[in-house]
Amino acid sequence: MLVVLVLGGCTIGTPDAIDPSLGNFAGRTLEVVATWSGAEQRNFQAVLNEFMRRTHATVRYTSGGTDLAVLINSRLAGGSPPDIAFIPEPGVVAELVARGVLTPITGTAAQAVRSNYSQAWQDLGTVNGQLYGLYFKVANKSVVWYRADAFAEAGVSPPSTWEELQALSRTLTEAGITPMAAGGADGWVLSDWFENAYLRIAGPERYDELARHEIAWTDPSVVRTLELLDEYWRTPKFIDGGPSGATQTSFTQSVANVFGTEPTTAMIAEGDFVAAEIRRLNQVTVGEGARFFPWPSINGSPPAVVTAGDEAVAFHDTPETNALMTFLASPDVARIMASQGGFLSVNRNLDPSSYPDDTTRELAREIIDTPEVRFDLSDLTPQAFGGGTDAHMWVLLQNFLDNDISPTDLAQQLEDAAVHDFAGRP
């Protein structure tokens, strides 16, 4: 907030000197679209203000909300795409590249990406050997949040293995506390469960193969993962509201059931963004009453992190678009965003002290330090399979949670859907 005010003051005051590394773009107009609204949009506006101050360009931000893909597609159909879009699904980026509507990142922007991002993140932004995307904002999805007082009451401490998580959950039920909240009404919550378990059971290589549908969903590793989820989800009293109650609970509600005014549940397995919800509920402090532990290891699997992120891609090959890309890849921007909270960066030249608190720093450190980082599998698949409220993977996992479907049957249903949805893939 403070940063916004300070920067706002700058733009209103006397004209500032042009940043020669970016260039003078007075009179040029850029348009940026992303899913962010509310506080996230306000925070990002601080970055755009700083860019406008340094280059005298005009940048307009448009929020696409949850319908970002619709916005981009209709703008493309109308022949006026934005200059830069932040897209959460690499699968969509690949589709856009195949349609030939994106411009590769080149010149100073490419240099900035190379010097500030690790090879792994550059690879994630690369399609057909060309760099198209810059990972601006990332999420750490391999996190389980817990209420410290619930753990204290049951006399348990954070688990590091799956067996410990099960034992701890049992102890919590004995103390009369529901162990786990799951917002199954939002399909992506369940796909995150699957991805974390799968990455640990099958390992990173198989994970990549499954994301590209090079192995079938009927693979034994998938069935084993579904069996593990089935066992945990169906253990009486483990899931808040039981399986059918969980499919009626939204993500927001599930956080409130753990950290709200009348908490019933001890844990919730979801990403770093849960912290923002906890702050909004304003009942416990993140880092004190609300803490997290990394997703537990399964059968001795090494630490692994499932991430997601918004990838900046360009639709126009203009100097001002390139300058904004260069700027977005800089540690300066990462610092502006990080200091405002609710933001994790994989910019390796960002000083970790920019983060507002230890919890955020720790969440960011895990993404950068963990060797096995994998992108959210459902976001890598075609939209019809893993990228929307109607996507097959989401819907099938919801059916699995709510109904008595065997893991083998579900694996077959997922495979049938994948065969259909991957068919039209570029």
**Closer CB to another protein, residue 13 or residue 424?**
424
Helix (H/G/I), strand (E/B), else coil: 59 = strand
Beta-ladder partners of 290: 147, 286
CA gap 107, 202 in Å, rounded: 39
Q: 264 — phi, psi (to 5°)?
A: -120, -15
When asked if residue 262 is in the footprint of another protein (CB under 8 A), the reply is: yes
Helices marked H in 261-347: 274-281, 319-328, 331-339
The single residue among 29, 250, 282, 406 that binds another protein, judged by CB under 8 A, is: 250
Least distance in Å: CB of 403 to another protein?
8
Residue 290 backbone class (left: φ over 0; alpha: ψ -120 to 50; beta: rest): beta
The single residue among 30, 144, 154, 201 that binds another protein, judged by CB under 8 A, is: 154
CA gap 135, 387 in Å, rounded: 18
Least distance in Å: CB of 307 to another protein?
21
Mask for 73-112, x = binds another protein (CB under 8 A): x---------------------------------------
When asked if residue 391 is in the footprint of another protein (CB under 8 A), the reply is: yes
CA gap 254, 233 in Å, rounded: 15
**Closer CB to another protein, residue 245 or residue 302?**
245
Cβ-contact 269, 275 below 8 angstroms: no
Taking CB under 8 A as the binding criterion, the range among 41-49, 108-116, 184-192, 332-340 that sits at the site for another protein is 184-192
The single residue among 81, 159, 184, 309 that binds another protein, judged by CB under 8 A, is: 184
The single residue among 43, 108, 247, 265 that binds another protein, judged by CB under 8 A, is: 247
Least distance in Å: CB of 80 to another protein?
19
Q: If binding means CB under 8 A, how many residues of this protein chain bind another protein?
A: 39
When asked if residue 402 is in the footprint of another protein (CB under 8 A), the reply is: yes
The string over 155-177, giving b where at least 16 C-beta atoms fall within 10 Å of a residue's C-beta and e elsewhere, is ebebbeebeebbebbbebbeeeb
Provide the angle, in degrees to the nearest 10, between the axes of the packed helices 331-339 and 38-55. 140
Cβ-contact 49, 3 below 8 angstroms: no
**Closer CB to another protein, residue 189 or residue 344?**
189
Helix (H/G/I), strand (E/B), else coil: 92 = helix
Give CA separation, 171 vs 167, 294, 312, in Å: 6, 20, 45
When asked if residue 171 is in the footprint of another protein (CB under 8 A), the reply is: yes
Cβ-contact 188, 182 below 8 angstroms: no
Cβ-contact 414, 217 below 8 angstroms: yes
The single residue among 8, 76, 153, 415 that binds another protein, judged by CB under 8 A, is: 153
When asked if residue 268 is in the footprint of another protein (CB under 8 A), the reply is: no
Looking up tokens 């004209």 gives 15
Mask for 39-68, x = binds another protein (CB under 8 A): ----------------------------x-
The single residue among 38, 100, 129, 176 that binds another protein, judged by CB under 8 A, is: 176
When asked if residue 177 is in the footprint of another protein (CB under 8 A), the reply is: yes
**Closer CB to another protein, residue 160 or residue 248?**
248
When asked if residue 260 is in the footprint of another protein (CB under 8 A), the reply is: no
Pairing of strands 265-269, 178-181: parallel
Cβ-contact 199, 183 below 8 angstroms: no
When asked if residue 244 is in the footprint of another protein (CB under 8 A), the reply is: yes
Mask for 315-334, x = binds another protein (CB under 8 A): --------------------
Least distance in Å: CB of 160 to another protein?
18
Least distance in Å: CB of 241 to another protein?
7
Cβ-contact 221, 424 below 8 angstroms: no
User: Binding residues for another protein, per CB under 8 A?
Assistant: 67, 69-70, 73, 152-156, 171, 173-177, 184-187, 237, 241, 244-245, 247-248, 250, 262, 383-384, 387-391, 394-395, 398, 402, 424
